[in-house]
Amino acid sequence: MTIDAPTLSDAQIRQLADRLDRPIVLVGMMGVGKSTVGRKLAALLGLDFRDADEEIEAAAQMSVSEIFERFGEDYFRDGERRVIARLIEGGRAVIATGGGAFMQDETRKLILERGIAVWLDSDVDTLVQRVGRKDTRPLLRGGDPREIIARLKAEREPFYAEAPIHVSSGNGPHGEAVTRILQELGRCL
């Protein structure tokens, strides 16, 4: 049985938004729903939403897949680091990062120091199901998506666990994850 998290009133959400002095930065595996959850969270808090992958694509005038294909992962990570630094510099906002960004020492340090990192987490089955809807992720092209996701999740978890807020989104609607993030923010701020 799932117990619905009690929702917050508009006034409570407004108070939270007023107390916020840093960007909220969503980290976690591909397919977990960082962009969808991030957009909803930003709308509720009255903040801008920024998607790091979209910003990288806009800056490079190329898709993430094309960047990986033409220039390789190291080049992508370098652009990702610069874009995330710029987004964090922008202050209050909700920022969704690509699943590998938080593995980069410099980026992780910056997010932890200057933002509020939120690890959005799901089980492997849910992630596999969600990534299956799009063929835009270069890291999944070289083999069995389930195997790659399970391996990356295991490798990355110790890093994601450094985020002060951890919310499991499971297979349920993204709105539940948004509510839980708001509650956790209430405890942190």
Interacting residues with ligand S3P (CB under 6 A): 30, 34, 53, 64, 98-100, 137-139
CB of 131 to ligand S3P, least distance (A): 7
Closest chain position to ligand S3P (CB): 98
CB of 185 to ligand S3P, least distance (A): 21
In the three-class reduction of DSSP (H, G, I as helix; E, B as strand; rest coil), residue 123 is classed as coil
Q: What is the DSSP letter of 62?
A: S
How many of the other CB atoms lie within 10 Å of CB of 177? Answer: 27
* Residue closer to ligand S3P (CB basis): 159 or 186: 159
Tokens of 139: 């890291």
CB of 21 to ligand S3P, least distance (A): 26
Spatial CB neighbours of 94, under 8 Å, sequence gap ≥ 6 = 23, 24, 26, 38, 39, 41, 42, 45, 47, 48, 49, 50
Residue 110 CA, chain-centre distance (Å), reads 15
CB of 112 to ligand S3P, least distance (A): 18
